[in-house]
Structure 1
């Protein structure tokens, strides 16, 4: 109904009920998740194995005596990493996350904690992580209740939802749903060797009075009870508690170890990210040089009593250098360093910026199709000035209320702890696919393939004639939906300020954005002299209407490309196939007689089957490439947390492009400015490292970095120079802007 101001009035067909059902199913943000919860499984139903491009993960069991009270029973997650990839121990070290298991067990069974095998140190640049490469089994002991009653069947259904972070240099969160049929009365021991190997890698608990004494910024460990054959040999220590010791010191000269008789001692620097002092500190020790024959225990575990207390260090949200730079910006009254409690001056600045940003938003590429439709709408009204004014006000109300709704949702989600920013809705592949389906329907309608009046019940047929104000209101809603991925000059700073304001003040900023965007259309509807240049209604409107189908299809092409960036080429291909079937379904219902019902019904069933079969390809994360995320052919490197600080500390200037595939303004800036030869030559001449922070899919780290810069959406362009505050550039970038900023280095 959005564009029915342009449509001819015709009779309506009962076939609309089937078409409406198909449109609802295909346009729903959750349609692609009907069959599978996990986007990583390779089969249509949950099973014991999940395969990703980086690992093969399997739910396994060890029950040599079946399932009965008092009998040994183990479950485990077996991980076969691809070469170069690793997952993490219970304490991941300087970065990473441990594997998480959520069990759904039959009545009478309860799962214990993961019996973690001893990890290995994994060096990534200046960081030291603890984790696993190659083949790994994470065993979990299962307790069978004394009153356990075996079921009538021969097997128990074991279900597990597991999530893990797998890294090479880049890190990818993965998850999977597993299901295993465990025989009750017969033995399960096909994985006996794997469980035995995991047991051999389990640290052996040792007795003895071990202590950890706090000495200023250091911790002195005394571990007693170690086997006599270890005395005099160097050991490697793995602390189970995160953020207590400086992990990377294990391979440096900032720590010392020695033997005091039978007691192993170590002097270790405390972490700069340490929290409160615990009462006890569990540690795992291994031989720094394992024995050649590999006999004996692999590791030993001790629990040291902590003596004394250290001063906890609050964790800053940004680096000290960036915090100082933002403070300097605040002192200079820059909008990017606004305080959380908004003063009246900052509120007025945000309102003015929002108004100007909304005005300029009408010039953004993503809003052009709606602008064209609005122009034709003026011609449709002709000389009916009252109707034209009412439509203008209704359109303005739709724009403003939509901005308020998006702003309210964003603020509510952030208050609930979600790291989100402007344009967050297009970080969902399901919503991107739904928008592509909607724009396909609109494009087909504008070409004249079908009329909505033929597909809806007769009492809806003349709704656009009876309620033109409602039509204009919905047009405003659609305009905001299309414009939401974009930010305009002044808009980014205003949104960044609004995020940290009280809710009432923040919503007034979003309202100002809406007013700015709606203002040109509302003024034109109330001042006829502004639109007298438009030709009178006539045959040209049919031609213009069909021409406007191509911006709709161009939007579909862009959305498919966005989905390809989010979910990979398989996701984009699945969406294209579904759009073809949707188009055929629409065509089928334009036919006459029984053909429309037979062919339409078949295509509807085909669309539903394809949605359930290929939906997981649309919603899953794009597979990582086989190469490490080093500099690309055009010189850009992926942004990572702490990378900017590391480079600037070494004296290297950095330019960061905060971008997203769904941000049209980002893509325009990339092709008109950042990819120009003279701009790239200027970067190279001044030794600037180029980092790209891709926000296409939700990334809390990038959201936090944007918030620290006083922004809540993309594009954002920042130049970091050693010893200087970060320079945040305008959202609509030009080569002269970049070249002028580089002259300040």
Structure 2
């Protein structure tokens, strides 16, 4: 097989795909629960002193809701982070009037249906318009959407606002949102408003509210959280134009504000007041809400680090080396084993060729581990939450590897030879530089092996991300040396060459046989991409691979037939990349990819773990990813074992699964706290004990012993 020629062919065939991979986020993010869109209004164009509004419009599915700036008894407010050119300043959210959302014994404040959260932009004289005549706006938004369960979601949005023309497409929505914003009470009325602490309640008095609401019961929305009992019954009355109310204080009140900002509402209208608070506040609730014994146990649980945290640097180097050796036995490396076996058979009687190949392969592995580790460390230093195997969290990388393995498999199967596809100057690279083949095979080995975490690797990689750069890179070097060592030794041991049969016709049959592990790797990568982008992305990738295979075949033809069919294949490839490239390369929003989940397992969140452990509930967490073959093996064997599941039931364990298939900074941070930077990771949480991290390749007896607490 000619690796340099393969890469050259792939680079030409995958140009449309790679170009589409650079496409950034748009103005809309859709999940099964909401449709979020970045919208803008500039009725007089974009100039200093002219009004410009932007906002996030969220359309909720029935029964789902997001939260106001004070979410109430639970929940989180929506957060907007803007990236704007110099001279453009974003103001605060002009929060529309919320509604009360009772959930059991709790009351939250938020929005259902469709809501627009408007934000004013101030265009200062320092703003310098771009030559394109557009104002680029970028937004990163985080929101919590809830029904019976809550799902944290996020989105990145971009919008280019024309400078010289009016933008009023969403004028009606902005007008409605601003009209729904609570109005501040006139100064004279606000001066007559009062708040007084009376025992375990807060007494509010507001005079001269609009005549249209007099005599009606008003809704109360406190802007300060954890002050009043949101679900308690409020006693209120009218005396002429004076409204009074007695609002019970929260039993868990943690603050005693001197001013009580509050929104009063009736008939869809709201008024905002900030009365000063008179009277002496009662003592706040103690910080601990559990028994002293359980609180102490939880403190010990938090303070105790997992065993890997104490790993020394020398031990980490040793673990990295042995982890790299064991990595050769991981299923994800099997496709590269096929390439190496073919290379060994090519040099069956060439001892010098064996040695050169082994050294070049080792150099490729070491260089790739250092480059990949250095890139991960640099990105983490820049604020990115990344871990080991991060490149396969990119659908574009997964698709490119699937295309590469498809071409390798077709070459092994004998459909074509790269020498017949490329110019003679490129084809001659194999004869002139055979070392390059072996080096690039080492590069490919690291690209494919990196999603796997072998035994011993997890602790050493977890330590690496916290070490100085030189020490961290030393761990990656030892990891690469362990991966390359079997081939390096085999290339220098004459006995290995003697074990191989003499070259002959069997080599061609053997090479064709090895095409099937490559096709299996393609099937796995398509499945991984389906987990990341959905069934449409997987279908588009399959269509692209078919067109790529057709193109490879047509280039083996001769004469006019080759020109005609190759042209059709190129058009098909370009058309599929153009129409389906976005589906292939764009990650689906969190929660949009349907998969057959074991009903025993629930979605993971750090808050969920804390709540369960605080309630005395043992928890087993599976940190996993679709591209992690070891994860899938453990899932189908040990975690599906009947005895293991019976022990989970007997111990009343809650089973949580943290899916890291796509980038998730929360999961990355949780792995780092456990002293890990990749998956699989399996953790047992029990009240009053430190988290117990199990081995990467799970055994039935190991899990049963761990969950039994022995």
Give TM-score scaled by structure 2 length: 0.81
The answer to whether structure 1 residue 299 and structure 2 residue 235 are counterparts is: no
Instruction: Look up the match of 2:25.
Output: 38
Deviation (angstroms), 1:139:
3.9
For residues 720-731 of structure 1, the aligned pairs below 5 Å read 720-731=685-696
Instruction: Look up the match of 1:170.
Output: 151
Contact 1:205/1:302, CA 8 A, preserved across alignment: no
Gaps of 5+ in 1: 8-15, 42-49, 147-155, 314-318, 339-344
Deviation (angstroms), 1:96:
3.8
The answer to whether structure 1 residue 715 and structure 2 residue 680 are counterparts is: yes
For residues 421-436 of structure 1, the aligned pairs below 5 Å read 421-436=387-402
Contact 1:32/1:618, CA 8 A, preserved across alignment: no
The answer to whether structure 1 residue 546 and structure 2 residue 533 are counterparts is: no
For residues 400-549 of structure 1, the aligned pairs below 5 Å read 400-549=366-515
Contact 1:85/1:166, CA 8 A, preserved across alignment: no
For residues 14-93 of structure 1, the aligned pairs below 5 Å read 19=9, 22-25=12-15, 28=18, 31-33=19-21, 37-38=24-25, 53-56=32-35, 78-90=57-69
Q: 2:636 aligns with which of 660, 671, 674?
A: 671
Contact 1:693/1:702, CA 8 A, preserved across alignment: yes
Q: 1:638 aligns with which of 587, 603, 621?
A: 603
Instruction: Look up the match of 2:261.
Output: 283
**Partner Cα distance (1:369, 1:57) in 2:** 42
* 2:261 match: secondary structure: strand
For residues 7-406 of structure 1, the aligned pairs below 5 Å read 19=9, 22-25=12-15, 28=18, 31-33=19-21, 37-38=24-25, 53-56=32-35, 78-90=57-69, 95-96=75-76, 98=78, 100=80, 113-120=92-99, 122=101, 130-140=109-119, 161-164=138-141, 165=143, 167-168=145-146, 169-177=150-158, 192=172, 195-196=175-176, 198-205=178-185, 207=187, 208=190, 227=208, 236-239=220-223, 245-246=225-226, 250-251=230-231, 283-286=261-264, 290=266, 294=267, 297-302=269-274, 324-325=300-301, 327-329=303-305, 334=307, 336-338=308-310, 346-406=312-372
| CA distance 1:587–1:183, change in 2 (3 Å) | same
> Mean Cα displacement is larger for which, 614-623 or 345-354?
614-623
Contact 1:86/1:133, CA 8 A, preserved across alignment: yes
| CA distance 1:118–1:200, change in 2 (3 Å) | closer
* 2:475 match: secondary structure: helix
Deviation (angstroms), 1:301:
4.2
**Partner Cα distance (2:122, 2:473) in 1:** 54
**Partner Cα distance (1:263, 1:124) in 2:** 24
| CA distance 1:740–1:545, change in 2 (3 Å) | same
Number of residues of Structure 1 aligned to a counterpart in Structure 2: 677
Deviation (angstroms), 1:122:
4.9
| CA distance 1:129–1:176, change in 2 (3 Å) | farther
* 2:579 match: secondary structure: helix
Deviation (angstroms), 1:162:
5.0
**Partner Cα distance (1:400, 1:67) in 2:** 53
Instruction: Look up the match of 1:12.
Output: none
* 2:622 match: secondary structure: strand
Deviation (angstroms), 1:743:
2.6
The Cα offsets for residues 594-638 of structure 1, whole Å up to 9 and x where unpaired, read as 332333233323322322221221233436669999x95441111
**Partner Cα distance (2:540, 2:172) in 1:** 41
| CA distance 1:362–1:66, change in 2 (3 Å) | closer
Instruction: Look up the match of 1:45.
Output: none
Contact 2:118/2:174, CA 8 A, preserved across alignment: no
* 1:662 match: secondary structure: coil
Deviation (angstroms), 1:181:
8.4
| CA distance 1:595–1:517, change in 2 (3 Å) | same
Contact 1:55/1:80, CA 8 A, preserved across alignment: yes
| CA distance 1:66–1:223, change in 2 (3 Å) | farther
Deviation (angstroms), 1:75:
6.2
| CA distance 1:67–1:2, change in 2 (3 Å) | closer
Contact 1:351/1:508, CA 8 A, preserved across alignment: yes
**Partner Cα distance (1:101, 1:495) in 2:** 32
Deviation (angstroms), 1:563:
0.8
**Partner Cα distance (2:544, 2:388) in 1:** 29
For residues 690-709 of structure 1, the aligned pairs below 5 Å read 690-709=655-674
For residues 611-650 of structure 1, the aligned pairs below 5 Å read 611-622=577-588, 633-650=598-615
Contact 2:301/2:687, CA 8 A, preserved across alignment: no
The answer to whether structure 1 residue 680 and structure 2 residue 645 are counterparts is: yes
Deviation (angstroms), 1:56:
4.5
The Cα offsets for residues 286-321 of structure 1, whole Å up to 9 and x where unpaired, read as 35xx4xxx17x323143869999x9xx9xxxxx996
**Partner Cα distance (1:510, 1:103) in 2:** 36
| CA distance 1:262–1:515, change in 2 (3 Å) | same
The Cα offsets for residues 133-157 of structure 1, whole Å up to 9 and x where unpaired, read as 11223345578999xxxxxxxxx98
| CA distance 1:181–1:51, change in 2 (3 Å) | farther
| CA distance 1:372–1:51, change in 2 (3 Å) | closer
| CA distance 1:508–1:51, change in 2 (3 Å) | closer
The Cα offsets for residues 35-90 of structure 1, whole Å up to 9 and x where unpaired, read as x533685xxxxxxxx76543455677789999999998866654432113333434
| CA distance 1:96–1:565, change in 2 (3 Å) | farther
Gaps of 5+ in 2: 126-132, 288-294
* 2:408 match: secondary structure: helix
Contact 1:379/1:534, CA 8 A, preserved across alignment: yes
* 1:136 match: secondary structure: strand
The Cα offsets for residues 386-429 of structure 1, whole Å up to 9 and x where unpaired, read as 22122212211211221111111111111112111111111111
* 1:532 match: secondary structure: helix
The Cα offsets for residues 275-295 of structure 1, whole Å up to 9 and x where unpaired, read as xx99x97834235xx4xxx17
Instruction: Look up the match of 1:577.
Output: 543
Give TM-score scaled by structure 1 length: 0.78
* 1:251 match: secondary structure: coil
